[in-house]
């Protein structure tokens, strides 16, 4: 599925101007930009990303907070969606109280209790803290705070290069426990530590599992070759098995 920016705007209910802005701040980039025409195209992954952004906007998260959360290497989509559902349920219950309060106000009843929003606010703050403030995330913020967009793009390219090396290793018939594959595991770990945060054996093992469990990561990595994500996960698991 590939859509021009106008089609994507109509599908998501977000203006073209807003989509341009999201691209400028690195929140949602087009899946592909035609070098000749300059046309921007969006795909299925773009739709999923926009859905997450819209959920967080509905919960009054700032664009910066949303960007930080979605770019966190420890972002857990499943847990986040569960938290979002609970927050939206609390918001729905509050709106229902307000609707009922309107009827009460017409009858002259005291309806001040309907404006109590303390539970929603408390839960929202706790959720934000849980989703974003791991030690690795704090290190990530510190290391990348002065990174330019060009620097981040370069690092993304270097990471893709390592993934491609894994894919080549797999195509050459090297097993996950081979010296070549294990050397790439160490290279990946060193790259993450040097450029983002301390990538301990435990953290790297978690990343390996995420590469196959999260469809976005799996699909992106498997662009280098079908099965690459699973191959990387197995290589990491062998290196740091108990």
In a 10 Å sphere around its CB, with 0-12 CB exposed, 13-18 middle and 19+ buried, how is residue 163 labelled?
buried
Cα–Cα distance, 141 to 196 (Å, whole number): 8
Between 185 and 204, the higher pLDDT residue: 185
pTM of the model: 0.47
Model pLDDT, residue 128: 53
CATH number given to 137-237:
1.10.490.50
CB 73 within 8 A of CB 101: no
What is each CA distance from 201 to 79, 87, 91, 123, 238, in whole angstroms? 23, 34, 40, 32, 11
Report whether pLDDT(189) > 90: yes
Model pLDDT, residue 242: 43
Q: Bin 39: left if φ > 0, else alpha if -120 < ψ < 50, else beta.
A: beta
Region 170-184: what's the mean pLDDT?
93
Question: What is the DSSP track for 210-238?
Answer: HHHHSHHHHHHHGGGSTTHHHHHHHHHHH
Report whether pLDDT(188) > 60: yes
Average pLDDT, whole number, for the chain?
Answer: 80
Beta bridge partners of residue 32, listed in sequence order:
41
Region 44-72: what's the mean pLDDT?
81
111-149: per-residue pLDDT in tens? 544 445 555 455 455 555 554 555 666 677 788 888 888
Report whether pLDDT(107) > 70: no
Cα–Cα distance, 20 to 127 (Å, whole number): 29
**Phi, psi angle pair for 18, to nearest 5°:** -65, -40
CATH number given to 3-70:
1.10.1660.10
Q: How far apart are the first and last CA of the chain?
A: 42
Cα–Cα distance, 144 to 6 (Å, whole number): 33
Confidence label for 190 from pLDDT (cuts 50, 70 and 90): very high
Model pLDDT, residue 122: 55
Report whether pLDDT(62) > 90: no
CB 166 within 8 A of CB 115: no
């Amino acid at each position: 599925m590939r859509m021009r920016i106008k089609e994507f705007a109509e599908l998501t209910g977000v203006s073209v101007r807003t989509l341009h802005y999201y691209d400028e701040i690195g929140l949602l980039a087009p899946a592909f930009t035609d070098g000749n025409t300059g046309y921007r195209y969006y795909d299925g992954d773009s739709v999923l990303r926009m859905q997450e952004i819209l959920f967080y906007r509905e919960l009054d998260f700032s664009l910066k907070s949303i960007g930080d959360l979605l770019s966190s290497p420890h972002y857990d989509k499943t847990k986040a969606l569960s938290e979002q559902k609970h927050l939206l349920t609390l918001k729905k219950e509050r709106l229902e109280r307000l609707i009922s309060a309107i009827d009460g106000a017409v009858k002259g009843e005291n309806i001040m209790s309907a404006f109590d929003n303390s539970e929603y606010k408390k839960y929202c703050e706790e959720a934000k803290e849980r989703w974003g403030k791991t030690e690795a995330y704090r290190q990530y913020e510190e290391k990348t705070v002065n990174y330019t967009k060009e620097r981040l793009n370069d690092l993304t390219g270097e990471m893709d290069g390592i993934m491609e090396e894994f894919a080549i290793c797999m195509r050459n018939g090297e097993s996950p426990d081979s010296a070549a594959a294990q050397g790439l595991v160490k290279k990946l770990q060193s790259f993450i530590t040097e450029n983002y945060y301390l990538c301990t054996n435990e953290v790297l093992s978690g990343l390996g599992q995420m590469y196959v469990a999260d469809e976005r990561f799996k699909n992106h990595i498997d662009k280098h070759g079908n099965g690459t994500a699973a191959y990387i996960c197995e290589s990491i698991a062998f290196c740091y098995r108990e």
